[in-house]
Amino acid sequence: MTAIEPDHAVAVVGAGTMGQGIAQVALVAGHPVRLYDAVPGRAAEAARSIAARLDRLVEKGRLAAADRDAARARLSPATRVDELADSSLVIEAIVEQLAAKQKLFTDLESVIPDDCLLATNTSSLSVTAIAGALRLPGRFVGLHFFNPAPLLPLVEVVRGAATDEAAVDRAYATVAAWGKRPVRCADTPGFIVNRLARPFYAEAFRVHEEGFADPATIDAVLRESGGFAMGPFELTDLIGQDVNEAVTRSVYEAFFHDPKFTPSLAQRRLVEAGSLGRKSGRGWFAYGEGAQKPEARTAEPCDASAEVVLHGSLQGPSAVLHELIVEAGIKVTPAPVPDGGHGFIALPDGARLSLTDGSPATTDVQGIAIRFDLALDYRTCTRIALAPSELASPEDVRAAIGLFQALGKKVSVIGDAPGLIVARTVAMLVDLAFDAVGRGVASPEDIDIAMRQGVNYPRGPLEWGRVLGADRTDRLLRSLHDEYPGGRYAACQPLRRRAAVEESLL
């Protein structure tokens, strides 16, 4: 199916920030655009705002003046729904209320031709439910743009239960012709991004709620070890606690209170207190005049020992630490794993330093343990989190700190959190991605593209899964499930099956 021709009109209903952004995208792509809003005068005001943004693009050299003039001439504010009658595509970006959206589209069906494609930009409502009121639900799709629409490339093209495949193909081709990166997904709560992104927030909030680490430290570890662009506390302050919490609750309720999507009580209290983040002057952090953001907890300098003993080999992506320790001038003496378990570094007083396996260090029956967190890349990361056993001595902890400081890393010592911070977050992201593929929500490729381009993750969750291995991810989740029974950390069936396959090939 080919894209809608550029000379065919596109209508955008809803002249708020998102509607204006979508209208601008269609304009720059060459379409005549009809912009309508039910509030009198708002469409005309929005058209002036779009024109001003086009002027700024010219000033920055991103748009030719002639193209700007042509785009402005193609933009028409509408005062009545029937002025959209010549449109080949109508995209709705109004209030997130099912009844309001259904009424809008039933009104549109009375004036537009039967071959006009209808789309909703909803991020939280069911595409199938919106289309349920229509005479021709087969032509109805979801086109979920991300804000700001002119800048962010991702668009989720959502197939409702009654959507014709030809409508999905036409919407996909049109969005691609506009220079966006479309991904296909089924009509599931949260679609791809809002469904799979929940653990990024939820695990950080839980680590904080349980007293293992403070928000600034958790953010720093996810940025500087996990490679994420922003930490979840600073990001939700930017988004708005009310907005982020509403999406979480929506997904939780839509999945019939599945424990994997349980909202955070601490975040609920922020919303109740009116501490919504940057827009209110306070959220997890303060933003008023003179306010200073708390610093991440960072260990003071400690001496590194001249020699460590490496029993067996380190696990998965942490194996490169062997090279880094040698490059730092520390002697590494190899030794067998005494109990047939996983590899670890023996510190001078005998404590075992190893990558987290999801279990608390304090419960390790094989000796005094200190766990370190997962990193996107141990060679280039700038911070490592450590979680010592409650039995570890101050000397043990200083030896572990000094070792990683000798590798050029800042070190954050946190409480004995099962799975620490990055590892438990990534394991949950991987699990939800496997589940989404297994349920036919989207293809593996589209899931990874969506999470990289929609929320700027350093890796797609399935790519993370390949790096970690399904078997290692499954074991980590099993350990977390032992610590927190109830289903939140129970690995999905597709992940367990893949883990069994990998284990059988060893």
Mean pLDDT (whole number) for 152-160: 97
Active site residue 156: yes
Q: Are 83 and 77 in contact (CB under 8 A)?
A: no
Active site residue 194: yes
Q: Which of 121, 126, 156, 359 is catalytic?
A: 156
Q: What are all long-range contacts of 116-119, with beta carbons under 8 Å and residues at least 24 apart? A: 116/87, 116/88, 116/89, 116/90, 117/4, 117/88, 117/89, 117/90, 117/141, 117/167, 117/170, 117/171, 117/174, 118/89, 118/90, 118/92, 119/89, 119/90, 119/91, 119/92, 119/143, 119/171
Task: Give 369's contacts (C-beta < 8 A, 6+ positions apart).
Answer: 351, 352, 353, 354, 361, 362, 388, 389, 392
How far apart CA 461 and CA 436 sit, in angstroms, is: 11
How far apart CA 413 and CA 407 sit, in angstroms, is: 16
Mean pLDDT (whole number) for 235-261: 96
What is the pTM (predicted TM-score) of this model? 0.95
Active site residue 144: yes
Backbone angles phi, psi at 51, to 5 degrees: -60, -40
Q: What percent of the chain has pLDDT over 90?
A: 95
Give residue-wise pLDDT tens across range 303-356: 999 999 999 999 889 999 999 999 999 999 999 988 767 899 999 988 999 999
Q: Which of 88, 121, 194, 412 is catalytic?
A: 194
Q: Which of 123, 250, 354, 479 is catalytic?
A: 123
pLDDT in the model for residue 404: 98
Backbone angles phi, psi at 94, to 5 degrees: -100, -170
pLDDT band at 201 (very low <50, low <70, confident <90, very high): very high
Q: Which two tokens stand for residue 475?
A: 């074991």
Q: Which of 92, 126, 144, 275 is catalytic?
A: 144
Nearest in space to 387 (alpha carbons), one of 435, 434, 432, 421: 421
pLDDT band at 1 (very low <50, low <70, confident <90, very high): low
pLDDT in the model for residue 29: 97
Q: What is the mean pLDDT of the chain?
A: 96
Give residue-wise pLDDT tens across range 87-123: 999 999 999 999 999 999 999 999 999 999 999 999 9
- The 10 Å CB-count burial string (b at 16+, else e) for 109-142 is beebeeebbbbbbbbbbbbbebbebbeebebbbb
